[in-house]
Amino acid sequence: MKKRFLVLLVAVFMIISLFPAGVYADLGINYQKQSIPHFTISKDELERLAWLNNVDPQELKDALNAGLDENGKYSPFSNLKQLDNGITDEELKKRDLLKIGSDGTPIVRMNPYFSNIVPAGQILRSNQDATAYVAASGKVTASGKTPKYGMVAVHFAGGNPVNPVIPFGTAIYLDRYISLPDGTQRSNYTVEDTGSGHEDSTLYWIDLFFGGLSNYPKAINFGTQTVTYNQIVN
Amino acid sequence: MNNRRKKIIIILISIIICAGIFIVLQGFKTQRYTETVLESSNIKSYSAKEAINFMTQYIIAQKLMEDPLLISITSTDSIEKDKTIDPGKDGKRAAWNGEFGDIKGSKVIVCALRGDIIRIDFISEAKDIPDNENGESHLAIGKYRVNDIKIDSNDKVVLDKIKELKLMPGTTQQDWIKGYHYSIYESAIDDSLILLIYGISPESPNEKGESMMAICEFNAKDGSFVRASKKVGYDKDGRSIWVPM
- The DSSP result for B135-202, as a single string, is ---B-PPP-B-GGG----TT-HHHHHHHHHHTPBPB-SSSSSSSB-EEEEEE-TTT--EEEEEEEE-T
pLDDT in tens, A44-84: 889 999 999 999 999 999 888 888 887 778 888 988 898 98
B39: distance to nearest CA of chain A, Å? 22
3-state secondary structure of A118: coil
Residue B216 banded pLDDT, cuts 50, 70, 90: very high
Query: How many folded domains does chain B comprise?
Result: 1
- Residue A46's alpha-carbon distances to A43, A190, A227, B91, in angstroms, are 5, 31, 23, 52
- B-chain residues near A22 (CB < 8 A): 203, 230, 232, 243
Q: Testing the interface with A: which of B108, B118, B194, B217 to mutate, by most A Cβ within 10 A?
A: B108
B36: distance to nearest CA of chain A, Å? 23
What interface predicted TM-score (ipTM) does this complex get?
0.70
| Extents of the domains making up chain A | 40-232
For residues B165 and B143, what is the distance between their CA atoms, to the nearest angstrom? 31
**What CATH number should be reported for the domain whose range is A40-232?**
2.40.40.10
In a domain, B17, yes or no: no
In a domain, B226, yes or no: yes
Residue-number span of the structural domain to which B55 is assigned: 48-244
For residues A152 and A167, what is the distance between their CA atoms, to the nearest angstrom? 11
Please provide residue B90's backbone torsions phi and psi, each rounded to the nearest 5 degrees: -100, 15
Residue of B25 and B38 predicted with greater confidence: B25
B76: distance to nearest CA of chain A, Å? 6
Interior angle at CA A15, CA A11 and CA A17, nearest 5: 115
How far does CA A222 lie from the centroid of its chain? 11
Neighbours of B170 (CB within 10 A): 23
Mean pLDDT of A121-138: 89
Q: State the Rg of chain B over Cα.
A: 23
Given a contact cutoff of 8 angstroms between Cβ atoms, the answer to whether A136 and A213 are in contact is yes
A212 touches chain B (CB under 8 A): yes
For residues B114 and B190, what is the distance between their CA atoms, to the nearest angstrom? 31
pLDDT value of position A22: 29
Which of A19, A147, A190 has its CB closest to that of B188?
A: A147
- A-chain residues near B183 (CB < 8 A): 145
Please provide residue B97's backbone torsions phi and psi, each rounded to the nearest 5 degrees: -115, 125
* Cα–Cα nearest to A229, from B122, B96, B78: B122
